[in-house]
Structure 1
Amino acid sequence: MLTETIELTAFAPGTRHSLQVQRFGTPGARPKVYIQGALHADEVPAIVVTQALSRHLKTLEAQGAILGEVVLVPYANPIGLAQHTLGHHQGRFDLRDGGNFNRGYAELAAKVVEPLRPQLTQDVARNTVLVRQALVHAVDQLTAANTTQELKNTLLRLAIDADIVLDLHCDTDAVLHLYAMTPQSADAEALGAALGVQALLLAIEAGDSPFDEACARPWYQLQQWLPQFPIPMACFGATVELRGETDTSHALAAQDVQGLCAYLAMRGVLALPQPTGSAPAPWPVALCEPTPLAGSEPITAPHAGVVIFHRQPGQRVKAGDLIADLLNADTGELTPLHCQSDGLLYARCGQRWASAGKRLAKIAGTSLARTGKLLSP
């Protein structure tokens, strides 16, 4: 393992932030995998998993079992790790301006399409190399006016030429689920089966350019804009939600590392040792079918009140089921909140006091067709 420390520019005197980057395997080998944890810095189960993964990758590297290259950033947001207000960790939003650390990544396809147009041919392998080179060059040209923007550019530079990009997060109170792009449903289903996810949410565009889409979506856009040239979807990106904020057990981390490594072995990144004379284990059976992110139903509070849930994450619901009551603090009246969709309740909020409009729960369904920005703020 090679460890690199990247110092971010100090935009104020006396401050310092740095990233730790761990590299396994042979630099430049394919497939290249990029994995990062806790971009939303208060989603700390991801750090438990990345550190457990680091230990396991060291063992595999000593055994010569890493065939490609793995770039691991155990904690992707040193800025957010340091943000505390009145005793509460604030790791999702930048306290400087309220910006979400997992939104607003540079959209690179528009920057590279015209330079690529005269270079591309009918050779798909050559086109893949050219696109990767163009994307790397485009990231290198990005500028930053503050530390958060520099962090985003740095993370994108580490990942933009990878074959696989996995961004490890968690929700507040949730079962294991993941987000990916619809054109990459086969890869997403394989990863989901390996990890045992209970909800798999797909979209062409989730909105606001989250990190995984900033890496994978340029390939889809270039396919659409340059249909005369063979351009593969050469980067698979996914956001993996590692259950809820309090799910920080060693047993769960070991389970997640096993699933991640099984998927990477299937993709040819790792050569996992097999007991002598034993047949390879069968691929895990998927626990869910993919559903459109546009069909994910948010249960929101129509007014302020105390939330009283009737359903747990992981429970299947039918349209019309009672999900929660909202208790009016003035009158004591209850407002029942019902779902419109059949599906799986895969996440819910942690706080039990809700302001008007607060998203209380999310259901993976198929009957809705939301448009616009599909992710939580």
Structure 2
Amino acid sequence: MQVKVYTDGGSRGNPGVAGSGSVVYGPDGETLAEVAYVVGQKSSNNVAEYHGLLRGLEAARDLGATSVEVYMDSELVVEQMSGRWKIKHPDMKELALVARGLAAGFSSVSYNWVPRAKNKKADELSNVAMDAAAKGAKPGVVGAAPSPGKQHVVAGPAHWSGTDAPRTRFVLLRHGQTEHSAAKLYSGSSDPALTDVGVEQAERAAQAVAAMGSIDAIVTSPQTRARQTAEACAAALGITVSEVETAEGFREMDYGDFEGLSRAECVERFGEEFDAWQASTSAAPPNGESLAALHRRVTRARLALQEKYEGGTVLVVTHMTPVKSVIRQALGVGAEAFKHIFLDLASVSVVEFYGDFGVVRCVNDVAHHR
């Protein structure tokens, strides 16, 4: 989804009480989110402008946007974020770094200057935030109601689902290319390493994950291709390999006698068994594992991580079918979901759980490979 984000920020006194405003518009010009944010009691206009940008990008991310056009009446921020002007002030350097991290989560972000007259809604919201700051409000999102019926605080899934359970986020990364995946062979219990292409894919994916923000733990399947990908992520995140956890529950499906074969070879050698496996999630390949059995063990593994890291963010480096299983859990749907989700090599998907309630944020993000 492509969105337009209009942002503004201001300070009464420069430095003084400061606030920012951000508005997200959808593809058809509809208002998707409005945010009024108290920056602080003694901040500058430029710092407030950056906070407006941050809140706008965060709102776009939370809405599931993939492409963002940013519009601001601050030429300074537009030129700095576009890379044409240097950033000298240490506070703005830090805020710009955070903004670039958020921007890396989208397929594209552009920065555009607009005159203040065309940025009235964001300006209005920034004044609402400054009014709140003048009354002693602490930094954070505030409510505002100049437009009846509009909600100016970006509400997340917990709000709309009526739960107060903490959010636990799972960043799900499929491993990079192996000889089996390159040859389009079933690869489950076997243990091929990454190819040179796979190593490069893992490194690009690791940089994308690092740009997403704080990761509380890295958990990997025990299989070599996943562990190699997890190690690339650890290096990008500044985490030692010894801190990477291994979880048996996230290993790939055991394809039994189908292992190492192409689909055509399975049909030729195991026609009846292959048809039965395709027709039912409870059927397993000869000497292998059923899809239903895999889903049960991945569910147990996910629940264990959610309990251990409740309220945190966990990077799980695993395989095609386990990632599909976690997405299915978040969607709360039946096994038919397995047939309708495809995941590219070294792709990133993001799901969240609020207690038993799941939300899918992103599926098969491969922007880092373009």
- Shorter-chain TM-score range: under 0.3
Structure number with greater Rg is 2
Normalised by the length of structure 2, the TM-score is 0.21
